Amino acid sequence: MRVLVVGSGAREHALVWKLAQSPRAPELFAAPGNAGIAQLATCLDVAAEDVEGVITAARSNSIDLVVVGPEAPLAAGMVDACREAGIRVFGPTKAAARIEWSKSFSKRIMDSAGAPTAHFEVFSDHEEATEYVREHGAPIVIKAEGLAAGKGVVVAQTVAIALSALDNIMLNRAYGDAGVEVVIEELMEGQEVSVFTFTDGKSLTPLVAACDYKRIYDGDKGPNTGGMGGYSPPPWWDDAMEQEVRELLIEPVIRQLAAEGTPFEGVLYGGLMLTDEGPSLVEFNSRFGDPECQLIMPRMENDLLDVIDAVIDGHVAELDLRWSAEATVAVVLASAGYPSVYATGKPITGLADGPESTIVFHAATAELDGQTVTSGGRVLAAVGHAATIAEARTLAYQAADAIAFEGAQHRTDIANFDV
């Protein structure tokens, strides 16, 4: 069996890593992959967003299954194109993936499904949005309507910050066409958690939960990033909470998507806030999270290929998906200057010097003259896997501290519940 994973980040490295453990011993390919993925798969010189390029590569390499990792190719209709070409593919259609690439659509689906979420308004006119913020005051949340690589959200503690965010998104177009509209929401307070389920559009698997750290500096300070680390499972997550979240938030949305003729088939990622009034939806994503995928793949006890087959073939109801009770902690190493301006091409050492029970997933690396070098902002994710979060945390930091490249930075408080 020949499997092509689309993407080049640590999420895709984690997927390739898990697929490589399948008893079916699939031959693995990646488009375009990275230096870490290249140790397990054949990397193809095709951009993740190049829909036609992926179709051509799948045909020329006799690929049996395409697994789409990032959100951009899903929003571009890669799953639809693969299906039309007769290529077996894992992921939601463009219409179903709209749950991520259109925040206004996502909020309407939540509303229609009766799933709790923050009150919101959608604006395409900058002056109207500005007036709304001035009337309602702060704190308030400003979101670019479209995809913004996880960075188009501003939690504004003052009106001045909110108005600056509106200018940046709608006038300066910091996120391009993603800022044609904005969603403005009331601020919810509480514990954030990400939950994931595999669904064929009808049935869904038990939820698996993880928590990530979005800001660049310790103490949740500094600008938002794509994620600087995380842990799974949360120590306070239990069967009762899983059932409540499933029945109140996730199942109604899956039913609503199906009722509107856009059944979601793939992995659905719900971002939640556990407020004093109960769990409430913040957002949905149409794919595995990053760094959450690096946390949950080591905890999956099933063959990932079996799970994917159940989704594609509509047999999720018959799937016995099992998650290890053990814990994982991820520490992300980033380039100096990230998430703003940063340099690349920095040689990396110590990748294999961490404890044996750790995994280093590559997020933005390349091979240059026989050496692994940095090629982006978030470079690596060091993951510890152990019986407890405390043990997993120790292992993750041992692996992270063994790695060096010029300007490397990472948070020191990931999964440290004492701070």
Residues 271, 413: Cα–Cα separation, whole Å: 21
Q: How much is the average pLDDT of 14-20?
A: 98
pTM of the model: 0.94
The CA radius of gyration of the chain, in Å to the nearest whole number, is: 20
DSSP string, 47-113: -TT-HHHHHHHHHHTT-SEEEE-SHHHHHTTHHHHHHHTT--EES--HHHHHHHH-HHHHHHHHHHH
Q: How much is the average pLDDT of 301-320?
A: 98
Residues 315, 168: Cα–Cα separation, whole Å: 45
Q: How much is the average pLDDT of 202-211?
A: 97
The listed range with the strongest mean pLDDT (179-183, 193-197, 222-226, 352-356) is 193-197
Tokens of 332: 């992300």
Alpha-carbon torsion, ordered 124, 125, 129, 131, to 10 deg: -160
| Identity of the amino acid at 3 | V
* pLDDT tens-place string over residues 365-382: 999 999 999 999 999 999
Beta strands in 137-292 (DSSP E): 140-144, 153-156, 182-186, 191-199, 208-212, 215-217, 221-224, 229-232, 266-275, 278-285
Residue 276: other Cβ atoms inside 10 A: 7
* pLDDT tens-place string over residues 154-195: 889 999 999 999 999 999 998 898 888 999 999 999 999 999
Residues 92, 312: Cα–Cα separation, whole Å: 10
128, containing H or E segment: helix 126-136
CB within 8 A of 382, min separation 6: which ones? Answer: 330, 331, 332, 333, 354, 358, 359, 360, 396, 397, 399, 400, 403
Residue 173: other Cβ atoms inside 10 A: 13
Q: Kind of pairing, strands 278-285 and 42-43? A: unpaired
CA distance readout (Å), 212 to 332, 405, 415: 11, 24, 9
Structural domains in the chain, CATH included, are: 2-93 (3.40.50.20), 119-186 (3.30.1490.20), 188-419 (3.30.470.20)
* pLDDT tens-place string over residues 115-146: 999 999 999 999 999 999 999 999 999 999 88
DSSP, collapsed to helix, strand or coil, labels residue 292 as: helix
**Position 212 confidence tier, pLDDT thresholds 50, 70, 90:** very high
Query: What's the pLDDT at 46?
Result: 98
